[in-house]
Amino acid sequence: MSRLSIPKTYKLFIGGKFPRSESGHTYEVTTSGGKFLANAALASRKDARDAVVAARAAQPGFASLTAYNRGQILYRIAEVLEGRREQFVAEIMASEGVRAGGANKQVDDAIDTWVWYAGWADKYAQVVGNGNPVSGPFFNLSTPEATGVVAAVAPQSGSANSLLGVSAVIAPMLVSGNTVVVLANHTQPLSAISFAEVLATSDVPGGVVNILTGDVAAVMPWLASHADVNALDLSGGADLEWVSWSQDAAQTLKRVLPPNEGVPPRALERITFFTELKTVWHTKALG
């Protein structure tokens, strides 16, 4: 007797939980050949606002962790991802239409990306910060700090490498203590939500990473204009209306990383773009 199939329900990831969209709407995700694969939640502007609230609440606590702690959290993500390799390989093959070799390479690259950024967590400040030359009986030191809440667009092109793309967006932001609201690849969102399950079973505090699926063009304007979002990563939105989102962001003086296909998934500038330099002055002892 054959068993009934149990199709997976792909939901949003907000505040460390997996809610359905408040609208109740979903959309069909298909294979590269156009066959039905799954239903995914269609995020609304209310879901986006909820994600920002969760990210803002989590940011001070996450930023207050030691750099070593954050590095260990990122490394744990890589460990859990490695343990679920077979699931991600199968999803990537079905969703992106690649062979097993290509899917395994993408999973390898995603894991290596998390390990690479984990190694930078307690080192990047020594590269970016510095003692500054000043004239007078004092000295000053500049150190990088997290920008705050970042809204990001995962790569949206047809060959986006969905798992690697979302990893390359999220990992560098966490290094310095930012929290993230990321819009997954619209047509290939399954790896992003399965990756949310990795986050939920690792050491990442709830609200540090929030993942939305659905129509990026409909949701992103609300994040771009949201006064409690400090920066935008639009590097994955080259084929979308990223210029208008940048204009929306200017109303609240957000940092904006525009699309730049020349930046590799593992790059120090992905970390430093979402940091602010804090300079402390101190007098020297006289005599």
Would residue 21 count as lying in a domain?
no
Residues 60, 148: Cα–Cα separation, whole Å: 8
State which amino acid sits at residue 64.
S
N residues, the chain: 287
pLDDT per position as a tens digit, 119-166: 999 999 988 877 767 777 777 778 899 999 999 999 987 566 899 999
Q: What share of the chain is helix, strand, coil (3-state, %, to 5)?
A: 45, 20, 40
Q: Tell whether 5 is covered by a domain.
A: no
In-domain check, residue 71: yes
Residue-level pLDDT at 286: 60
Check whether 185 has a pLDDT greater than 90: yes
Question: Is 95:102 a contact under the CB 8 Å cutoff?
Answer: no
Residue 15 lies in a domain: no
Percent pLDDT > 70 in the chain is: 96
Per-residue confidence (pLDDT) for residue 197, from 0 to 100: 96
Band of residue 60 on the pLDDT scale cut at 50, 70, 90: very high
The rounded distance, in Å, linking the Cα atoms of 269 and 278 is 18
**Mean of pLDDT over the chain:** 92
State the residue for tokens 């209306």: 241
DSSP for 70-106 reads HHHHHHHHHHHHHHTHHHHHHHHHHHH---HHHHHHH
Neighbour-count burial for 235-263, b at 16+ CB within 10 Å, e otherwise: bbbeebbbeebbebbeeeebbbbebeeee
- C-alpha to C-alpha distance for 194 and 197, rounded to whole angstroms: 5
Q: How far apart are CA 185 and CA 194, in angstroms?
A: 13
Q: What is the pLDDT of residues 10-44, one digit of tens each?
A: 999 999 999 999 999 999 999 888 899 999 999 99
Q: Give the pLDDT mean for 211-217.
A: 96
Quick: pLDDT tens for 222-260: 999 999 999 999 989 888 999 999 999 999 999 999 997
Burial class (CB in 10 A: 0-12, 13-18, 19+), 285: exposed
**182 in a structural domain:** yes
For residue 46, being part of any structural domain is answered with yes
CA dist., res. 116 & res. 118, Å (int)? 5
Where in the sequence is the domain holding 260, given as residue range(s)?
26-283
* CATH number assigned to the domain comprising residue 235: 3.40.605.10
pLDDT at 5: 77
* pTM score of the predicted model: 0.92
Residue 13 domain-assigned? no
User: Can you tell me which residue has the tokens 């996450």?
Assistant: 62
Is 237 inside a domain boundary?
yes
Q: What is the pLDDT of residues 257-278, one digit of tens each?
A: 999 766 888 999 999 999 998 8
Please report how the helices 100-120 and 67-83 are oriented relative to each other, as an axis angle in degrees rounded to 10.
170
User: How many independent structural domains does the chain possess?
Assistant: 1
